[in-house]
Amino acid sequence: MRRILIIAIPIVALLAVAPNRLNGYYLNLLYITVLYVGLAYGWNIISGYAGYFSFGQIAFFGIGAYATGLIVVNLQWHWILAALAGGLIACALSVPMGYVMLRLRGPFFAMGMFGLAQTSRVVITAIPATGGGSGLFLPPGSDLRSIYYWTLAVTLGAIALTMWIDRSAFGLRLQALREDEQVAGTLGIDVTLEKIYAFALSALIPGLLGGGYIWFLTYIEPDAAFSPRLDLQSVVMAILGGVGTVWGPLVGGVLMTQIAEALWARFPQIYLMIFGGLLVALLIVLPRGIVPALTSRIRRSV
């Protein structure tokens, strides 16, 4: 633990000071990196620790963004309160959704979650108050610096949460139910409850991040909020780094963001294709991800 803090504190300090030193483009890139890392961490809890691979966590990102937007437009709250509320609303909605969806397993859950994300998009587009397809525009209320700090705070919180989960009784229960749900039940684990906790956490994080994202864009529209591209990216990043590990999403997120942004800038047409291909290649070449591959190599050489 101490070793981690020794490395972490300077890095966090650097990240905190960064906005003062970086110009617009780099600050932008830093924000995006932190955002993607955060999304990957959110995905990692339900998919990596609980073993319920979800291809639709973006639903909560979008819900968080829209909830925040609607609160600001209609209730004129301060942007931090609005973003916080947005995240909490996404989390609250995830409980009944999870109660239903988590009855599904494997491919049904994965596809079902995708469907849930699409359904959320459609429903939100259909509600007139959200501006439908044209989107929702925000009045001024924040800036890139503030949004960066918000996102950094949420992502650091997500990392800390994951560190806690990894070594806690809750984490052990999740991993047990991931390995064998029926056996976990007969060993005293209330699998339904634990799954819902994991799912709610995996909704809170993207929800809070979404609340910040809408400020970043200063507007939101359905395709941006429920972007399949963002969803795919979280999956790839977590898998690249190492599913179900503490540092996997960080490693995968940081690496992948740089690659993603470079690709997106240069080859927007074939971007999705490359990303898809990357995921496929990763699964064949590095199925467990970078972090486990590194740690087992370190273990072997010691």
Partner 1 sequence: MSEPILSVTNVRVAFGGVQALAGVSLEIREGEILSLIGPNGAGKTTLFNVISGVLRPQHGDVRFLGRSIIGRPPHEIARLGIGRTYQIVRPFGSLSVVDNVAVGGLIHARSIAAARAAAREIVEFVGLGPFADRIAATLTLTQRKRLEVARALALRPRLLLLDEVMAGLTPSEMDTMADFVVRLGERGIGTVCGIEHVMRLVMRISHRIVVLDAGRCIAEGDPKAIQSDPRVIEAYLGAPLIETI
Partner 2 sequence: MVIAQLVVNGVLLGGVLALSALGFNIIFGVMRVVNLAHGDFVVLSAVFCAVVFAQTNLNPLILLPLTGGAGFVLGALVHRYLLHRLPGEIASAEASSLTLTFGLSFLLAGAGLALFGGNYRSVPFLTGAYQLDGLSFPQARLLAFVAALALAVVLGLFLRFTAIGRAIRATSQNVEGALACGIDTDRVRTISFALGTAVATASGTLMSFIYNLNPQMGVLFTINAFAIVVIGGLGSYTGAVVGAIILGLAQSFSSYFAGATLSEAAPYILFILISLLLPSGLLGRRTA
Binding site for partner 1 (CB under 8 A): 167-169, 172-173, 175-176, 179-180, 182-192
| Cα R_g (the chain), whole angstroms | 19
- For residues 185 and 196, what is the distance between their CA atoms, to the nearest angstrom? 15
Q: Do residues 260 and 275 make contact, with C-beta atoms less than 8 angstroms apart?
A: yes
User: Can you give the binding site for partner 2, defined by CB under 8 A?
Assistant: 47-48, 51, 53, 55, 100-101, 103-108, 110-112, 114-116, 118-119, 122-123, 125-126, 178, 181-182, 228, 232, 235-236, 239, 243-244, 269-280, 282-284, 287-289
State the nearest-atom distance from the C-beta of 63 to partner 2, in Å: 15
Read off the tokens for 84: 């916080």
Give 57's DSSP letter: T
Show the CA angle centred on residue 272, arms to residues 279 and 30, nearest 5°. 85
Can you tell me which residue has the tokens 């319920």?
A: 52
237: closest CA among 274, 299, 282?
282
Judged by beta carbon, residue 78 or residue 266, the one nearer partner 2 is: 266
Judged by beta carbon, residue 217 or residue 286, the one nearer partner 1 is: 286
Q: Do residues 60 and 199 make contact, with C-beta atoms less than 8 angstroms apart?
A: no
Q: Do residues 210 and 87 make contact, with C-beta atoms less than 8 angstroms apart?
A: yes
State the nearest-atom distance from the C-beta of 108 to partner 1, in Å: 21
Report the chain's terminal Cα–Cα distance, integer Å. 20
Judged by beta carbon, residue 128 or residue 139, the one nearer partner 2 is: 128
Judged by beta carbon, residue 51 or residue 56, the one nearer partner 1 is: 51
| 106 binding partner (options partner 2, partner 1, none; Cβ < 5 to 8 Å by kind) | partner 2
Judged by beta carbon, residue 96 or residue 277, the one nearer partner 2 is: 277
| 116 binding partner (options partner 1, partner 2, none; Cβ < 5 to 8 Å by kind) | partner 2
| 175 binding partner (options partner 2, partner 1, none; Cβ < 5 to 8 Å by kind) | partner 1
